[in-house]
Structure 1
């Protein structure tokens, strides 16, 4: 609990009299990273998406046109207020406040896109495992998981993007049926073919970007090219 309290204080200080503490709107680094995240999405459109750690909603606004419904969540009340203002004209986007992983939401239908960017290194190892378990229970078969994190050390926190993505790869790069898909009522799931496939991996000098599909099919396979 101390880590969560410390993190909340950390983010409160960042957003104190500052609506854009990481300069999402002005830095080329941030725009380039967002563009790369959008470019590697395996699908053009998603039915029900969620973004964990939405901050002030800059990336949420770019995700919104690709989603029929988008839920954006952040633990900081100031960030949530800013995101709500930014997305006020997007009726299909809902912004809520919630500390991860204690207040991870569930949905029906379950999410077919989960975006986790620049947040997991603020959590403990145990909390990251909780998020991983939540992903396996709340990502629809055929859905997409996108994770992107800064590679450098963050003052006051033990983990970096390197350690976070190493743990994610350990969890999802199994190439087996170890992950049991969540079944909706009346839905037939082919568990033989329902696996996490590592769709994309970008090792940038400054950040790591990994995309998994809850399906054995690549983008080319989905469009019958191979």
Structure 2
């Protein structure tokens, strides 16, 4: 799982916001963040992460910290399906979590903006023939996945398995490094590329990060707001038209399946389906 700032020496731990996400004024945060939009989008993968990965293959100690192992196991445990056909992981870091996700996916595409991280992830997933790792800055790489895959795997016959739609999208410890505009681009991409019945898992560190305006709190409030709106929106013009009442055209809402509000991180899971796990297994 990728990119949390626990190793940042100057981080102020007193800045933790332990209030609920609904108590945060996201609009105010957005306005404060707009001025940083271009600089964050252009530099986060080239300078911030380059410095962290300089002479260090595991800058957040994913392999040794119990905190990281616990968070990975909690994330895997709340996934509402035992197995997925086609998964994508945004911000894979050095691939420690990717290796675990690969066991739950028939095909997995992992993405990171840092050259060193991508090489490490490729090495870690080397024996997983159904897994691919590409380098690209989010959200821009999402808008040209076909080209990025072709460039990274020009001779692969199975590249189509790693293209949208995805029935699992994992976003971990990455969105607060983006501008609000880029976060909205990712949200729009999710709505367009998560398969019906698919799962979205988002997990972010709750503490402030020096040099970045967004936090896990504001990111997850933004996600809740976006998908709650999706949940409640009804296009009357299409619903009343006979062709759109046919089952093939019904577009299920995003259902908030799980939420973990840990002291240190936030974990939310949505499904592109109205059915809970118990409903899927005919328990209710």
Look up the SS of the partner of 1:68 in the other structure.
strand
Identify the match of residue 26 of structure 1 among 64, 83, 98. 64
Look up the SS of the partner of 2:64 in the other structure.
coil
Identify the match of residue 91 of structure 1 among 118, 129, 146. 129
Look up the SS of the partner of 2:51 in the other structure.
helix
CA contact (8 A) 2:164 2:193 kept: no
Identify the match of residue 63 of structure 1 among 60, 76, 101. 101
Identify the match of residue 165 of structure 2 among 110, 116, 140. 110
Which residue matches 2:194?
139
RMSD of the alignment, in Å? 1.6
Matched, 1:176 2:232: yes
In 2, Cα distance between the equivalents of 1:178 and 1:65?
A: 37
Look up the SS of the partner of 1:199 in the other structure.
strand
In 2, Cα distance between the equivalents of 1:15 and 1:191?
A: 46
Change in CA separation of 1:165 and 1:33 when aligned onto 2, cut-off 3 Å: same
Which residue matches 1:46?
84
Look up the SS of the partner of 2:81 in the other structure.
coil
CA contact (8 A) 2:165 2:193 kept: yes
CA contact (8 A) 2:84 2:104 kept: yes
Provide Cα deviations, 1:86-138, integer angstroms capped at 9, x if missing partner: 00000000000010001113664510000000000000000000000000010
Which residue matches 2:183?
128
Relative to the length of structure 2, the TM-score reads: 0.74
Please list every run of at least 4 consecutive aligned residues from structure 1 whose deviation after the TM superposition is greater than 4 angstroms: 106-109, 177-180
Identify the match of residue 275 of structure 2 among 195, 217, 226. 217
Look up the SS of the partner of 1:114 in the other structure.
strand
1:3 Cα deviation (Å)? Answer: 1.5
Matched, 1:152 2:152: no
Matched, 1:80 2:118: yes
The structure where strand makes up a greater share of residues is 1
The structure where helix makes up a greater share of residues is 2
Gap regions ≥5 residues in structure 1: 181-187
Number of residues of Structure 1 aligned to a counterpart in Structure 2: 218
In 2, Cα distance between the equivalents of 1:20 and 1:58?
A: 9
In 2, Cα distance between the equivalents of 1:32 and 1:2?
A: 33
In 2, Cα distance between the equivalents of 1:217 and 1:112?
A: 15
Gap regions ≥5 residues in structure 2: 1-37, 147-161, 239-246
CA contact (8 A) 2:80 2:277 kept: yes
CA contact (8 A) 1:177 1:191 kept: no
Look up the SS of the partner of 2:200 in the other structure.
strand
Once structures 1 and 2 are overlaid, which stretch shifts more, 167-176 or 104-113?
104-113
